[in-house]
Amino acid sequence: MTKSSIMLFGGLALSLAGHALERAASNPYGVCAHLTKNEFEDRERIVNLVAGLGVGSIRFDCPLRSVIGVNGEWHFDRVDAVVDAICGAGLEPLPILAFPGTMNKRGKPPAHWPPDSPDNEAYWTNYVYQTVSRYKGRVRTWEIMNEPNIHGYDAPRYFAVLKSAYTAIKRADPTAKVATGGFAGIPAEMLEELYALGAARYFDIMNVHLYATHDIRYAPEGNFDARLEALRKLMSSQDDGHKPVWLTETGSPTHRESAAAEGKRWNADVLKKAIDELHLPPQARRVLVVGEVPVSGELEAGGVDLVRDTLGSGYSVAPCRPGEVAVRVKAKEADILFLSFNWLHFQVDYDTVEQFVKDGGTLVVCGGTPLMNELKPREGGGWQSHCDLAGTPSEDLPRRFRFPVGNFLDAKVNRSTLKFPSATPPLALAGRYFLTGDGLKEGDRITPVISARAPDGREFMQVAVLKFNSDWKGAVVVSCLHNRFWFPRTEEQQAIESARILGLVAAEGVERVFLYEFKANETSPDNSQDHFGVVHSDLSPKAAFHAWQQFVRMRPAGSTSVPGEWRSENHALYFPTWVRPDGREAGMMWSVAGKRTRYVDGGEVSFIDLYGKPITFPLEGARYKVTFGSSPVYFVRSSPR
């Protein structure tokens, strides 16, 4: 082969690679896979399966510690192999750049990098610059850390990391895009602080992570859409609304353990023990479990059954939607209020809840931290949430509810070294805060139920009962244990929810959405973290694999949403519609309120179920009468309208 032909062939190869990357970059769907970690040996098989799913991108880990050795040597072999596999399949790589320690579960940086070294920023910047330079032309977007808001980064610290990374990336590859590290939830206060610091200049893509799996009602509806709309409003208020929004993690697990069994393994039995400390009379045992449940009630079991099973006979247990709390409390229907079992604390009327406790009611807070998720002190006093609470007024809750709390960081305690009593449920984890006896009035008392012991002998209350006997007369049962409560789903439920999430975020204008995760490791049958994948550990597909594949077929890359309403006013029905690249109109319909009916204009219309099977509906005049439930029904017209 002549030199000129070699050059021609090489140029053609680069051109073809560029076209493949262009196609992948226009595909709005992606998956997360740990290809540089435990899935490295299976990378070729996984990448080929992902390509068959119809998505365009694979997100994977590329932390500093994976490419720089303990003596400062560079090790790109593993990342090279992963990028080669992804690009070779015509997909786009999305690497996550991260500090050591951030992604290290022990929170320790490498021995050769002192945590307080003045060279930290230079070390980080060099790693970013060298890594981006190496993959210039093959990697178009870089994500700056994973969920920084729950990995110890406040706004100033993350701003410094983001700014230095952005600067290094643009120096190495001016065409590359920078995505914020997918924030866990949508931490509005942290984002506002980042904007105030000037962060808008240092990212091209706003990136968040949303999961519906903590939600008692099993559904993303009314959750994802409300939060994404709040995010857009926040960005617009900062003159940043033109930037795309990505969702680089979403999904749900299919672990086998029942909701009741999982709850008992975590905090439910502990909370029962705490309630028993109050010695409530039989006539004061009417319980309302506050949670967002659908109108139909078909999925309302979960937390309600868990409380009923835990408390046993002698307690009357019923569900209560957040908006009903004020009415039902004022009607004196409750002696005990149970708030959420998970990270999400629902929007309720806290004035009513406060008065309920003052008047003698019992409030049970079981979500892992007193009334808020990852509570964080605010400079100058007060408190702020470190994660999204969907508008819960967290700033003054500790003052109003008299939760005297301390911070393990201030106490100089490593939570991983804490020892719990043998009677504590397995896997109990300390949150970032502990309860103290400070600030209570004369007559009030705090009774520890579970305390954890530090290596130096100090004890820190993790579950306690606050019994008021001053100007307040009620009680609060509170847990600081980190309770990651994931209601289990069948594979069918995971598939249904996956399609609904895809339809919902597309209607909300999310530019790219990534499934977390592709492969389930399935090490433990009852650990939710081991069962997020849409393929099993042997790479055989779950139902959700086929549901994702069908959605991509129905709404391929290049589709555009049809303007107009895409959900009912009460958020019970969803019916997003789009125009495909071939000009044909398509859409989907589902309900979170039992069986419902909608009419679709007649003509040559095909109807398809979740997995691609054709279905038929009757014509009534010039329209099809379409009946559907929680599982989406697709339609597509045979020719452009």
The Cα–Cα gap between 555 and 395 comes to 42
Alpha-carbon distances of 497 from 507, 561, 631, rounded to whole Å: 15, 20, 8
Do 538 and 593 sit in the same domain of this protein?
no
Do 298 and 442 sit in the same domain of this protein?
yes
Q: In this predicted model, what pLDDT tens digit does every residue of 574-604 receive, in sequence order?
A: 999 999 999 999 999 999 888 999 999 989 9
Angle at 39 between CA 34 and CA 43, to 5 degrees: 100
The Cα–Cα gap between 1 and 10 comes to 12
Q: Which domain holds residue 212?
A: 3-255+487-554
Q: In this predicted model, what pLDDT tens digit does every residue of 482-507 receive, in sequence order?
A: 555 566 678 999 999 999 999 999 99
Do 516 and 627 sit in the same domain of this protein?
no
pLDDT above 70 for 538:
yes
- Please, is 550 exposed, middle or buried when counting C-beta atoms within 10 Å of its C-beta (0-12, 13-18, 19+)? buried
Phi, psi at residue 48, to the nearest 5°? -65, -40
Q: Are 485 and 263 in contact (CB under 8 A)?
A: yes
The domain that holds 134 is classified in CATH as 3.20.20.80
pLDDT of residue 368: 52
Do 342 and 240 sit in the same domain of this protein?
no
Q: Name residues whose C-beta falls within 8 Å of residue 139's C-beta, 6 or more positions apart in sequence.
A: 83, 92, 93, 94, 95, 132, 176
Single residue among 479, 506, 540 that ends a domain in this structure: 479
Angle at 107 between CA 106 and CA 109, to 5 degrees: 110
- Please, is 289 exposed, middle or buried when counting C-beta atoms within 10 Å of its C-beta (0-12, 13-18, 19+)? buried
Mean pLDDT value across residues 505-520 = 97
What percentage of residues in the chain have a pLDDT greater than 70?
77
Do 468 and 361 sit in the same domain of this protein?
yes
Total residues belonging to the chain: 641
Do 183 and 36 sit in the same domain of this protein?
yes
Buried b (16+ CB within 10 A) or exposed e, 151-178: bebbbeebbebbbbbbebbbebbeebbb
Do 129 and 203 sit in the same domain of this protein?
yes
Do 306 and 349 sit in the same domain of this protein?
yes
Single residue among 429, 447, 479 that ends a domain in this structure: 479
The Cα–Cα gap between 320 and 336 comes to 12
Do 274 and 419 sit in the same domain of this protein?
yes
pLDDT above 80 for 524:
no
pLDDT above 60 for 386:
no
Do 444 and 494 sit in the same domain of this protein?
no
The domain that holds 629 is classified in CATH as 2.60.40.1180
Buried b (16+ CB within 10 A) or exposed e, 102-112: bbeeeeebbee
Q: In this predicted model, what pLDDT tens digit does every residue of 79-98 receive, in sequence order?
A: 999 999 999 999 999 999 99
Single residue among 479, 498, 533 that ends a domain in this structure: 479
pLDDT above 80 for 157:
yes
The Cα–Cα gap between 641 and 638 comes to 9
Structural domains of the chain, count: 3
Between the ranges 252-261, 519-528, 562-571, where is the mean pLDDT highest? Answer: 562-571
Per the listing, tokens 């099809």 go with: 624
Say what the pTM is: 0.75
Do 83 and 135 sit in the same domain of this protein?
yes
Do 149 and 116 sit in the same domain of this protein?
yes
